Amino acid sequence: RQKIIIDTDPGQDDAIAIMLALASPQIELLGLIAATGNVPVTQTAENACKILELAQRPDIKVYKGCPRPMRRPPINAQHVHGQTGMDGPTLPTPKHQPEAQHGVSFLLETLANHPEHSITLVTIGPMTNLATALIQAPDVVKRLKQVVAMGGAWSETGNISPAAEFNAFADPDAAAIVLNSGLPVTLVPLDVTHSFLITTDRLQALSALSGTCARAAYEMLTFSSRFDLEKYGWSGAPLHDPCTIGWLLAPQLFTGRNVNVEVEVASPLTLGATVVDWWNVTNRPINAHFLRTVDADQLWALILDGLSRLP
């Protein structure tokens, strides 16, 4: 079983990623760290608790991370995800509460207490918590097996600015620290996720499932799709974050390349842009596995199968 920690800012697509992890016997979820991203961290932590409660997993704990990006003021994506960041279903206030321990401290403690290179960190929000951990205790963070991060864009244009993807843009300094840390990083950018839309057919297949989680997922993705339909004229919202878990479960569904990726941290025009040296024209060191394509039908089948196994 792959041991993972998910650092997340739910987010309807974050919720589906977490549900897929919970449904997969190949994955052992050690905990959730809440990030400041789509909405402030207090709200993302509450949303994470709601997901665990839906899935009846009170054994998994939620840890609040940093309340703001490293150097810049926080932004949010309520225009996409709604007031709560996870609009769609009406979910009760969870009994499950976040732990008192800080998310960065949970990450460092967990890494120290497990064998080296046995834990994967999946980041599906801005990378502030991981970057903070790298500043606090780089040697402990080096015990990670790998980082799998949803973030960045290259051949696909940005979704929060013309140049940048939301997670990279929200904390570009954190993304730059992570990419220059020497950790093995796989990036799942918009190049991949914009080809994985929750189309009407897929939404309909989801509506046929009977569990509480599947129902909530259906309501969340119905909400998400409205934005992309109005804004882009697409048939449905991209399922960004579940691609990270999909990569862990079925890497054969993806293609990518080991490349150098740098993040713009200064220019007001292109802040958060990920510059990918796809053709190795610079000789800069390789620091990431950058994914470019996914077999969307197969990945959707995996998600549907996972959701059908949850309560």
Task: Indicate which single residue of 124, 149, 160, 310 sits in contact with Ca ion (rule: CB under 5 A).
Answer: 124
Pull the structure tokens for residue 11: 């987010």
240 tagged catalytic: yes
Least Å from the CB of residue 226 to ligand BDR: 15
Type of residue numbered 309: R
Order of strands, sheet of 27-34, starting from the edge strand that comes earlier in the sequence: 62-64, 27-34, 2-8, 119-123, 146-150, 185-188, 288-294, 254-259
C-beta closer to ligand BDR: residue 14 or 228 = 14
Instruction: Please choose which of ligand BDR, Ca ion, none residue 274 contacts, taking the beta carbon within 5 to 8 angstroms, the exact cut-off set by kind.
Output: none
Closest listed residue to residue 30, CA positions, set 113, 117, 95, 110: 110
C-beta closer to Ca ion: residue 125 or 242 = 125
Least Å from the CB of residue 80 to ligand BDR: 6
Binding site for ligand BDR (CB under 6 A): 11, 13-14, 38, 77, 80, 124-125, 150, 159, 165-167, 240-241
Residues 149 and 179 sit within 8 Å (Cβ to Cβ): no
Using the rule CB under 5 A, is 45 a contact of Ca ion? no
Using the rule CB under 5 A, is 65 a contact of Ca ion? no
C-beta closer to ligand BDR: residue 77 or 133 = 77
Q: How far apart are CA 184 and CA 30, in angstroms?
A: 20
Instruction: Please choose which of Ca ion, ligand BDR, none residue 246 contacts, taking the beta carbon within 5 to 8 angstroms, the exact cut-off set by kind.
Output: none
Task: Indicate which single residue of 65, 103, 125, 189 sits in contact with Ca ion (rule: CB under 5 A).
Answer: 125
Least Å from the CB of residue 38 to Ca ion: 6
Tokens 């499950």 belong to which residue?
A: 96
The single-letter DSSP state of residue 94 is P
Which residues are registered as beta bridge partners of 8? 34
Least Å from the CB of residue 137 to ligand BDR: 26
C-beta closer to Ca ion: residue 69 or 143 = 69
Q: Please report how the helices 200-207 and 296-308 are oriented relative to each other, as an axis angle in degrees rounded to 10.
A: 20
* Binders of Ca ion in range 5-24 (CB under 5 A): 9, 11, 14
254-259/288-294 β-pairing: antiparallel
Q: How far apart are CA 210 and CA 205, in angstroms?
A: 11
Which residues are registered as beta bridge partners of 121? 5, 147
Instruction: Please choose which of Ca ion, ligand BDR, none residue 159 contacts, taking the beta carbon within 5 to 8 angstroms, the exact cut-off set by kind.
Output: ligand BDR
Radius of gyration for the alpha carbons in the chain, expressed in angstroms and rounded: 18
- Name the residue whose CB lies closest to Ca ion: 11
Stretch that binds Ca ion, among 156-164, 197-205, 234-242, 259-267 (CB under 5 A): 234-242
What is the H or E stretch that residue 219 is in? helix 212-232
Q: Please report how the helices 212-232 and 296-308 are oriented relative to each other, as an axis angle in degrees rounded to 10.
A: 150
Stretch that binds Ca ion, among 101-109, 125-133, 137-145, 302-310 (CB under 5 A): 125-133
Least Å from the CB of residue 280 to Ca ion: 30
Residues serving a catalytic function are 240
Residues that bind Ca ion (CB under 5 A): 9, 11, 14, 124-125, 241
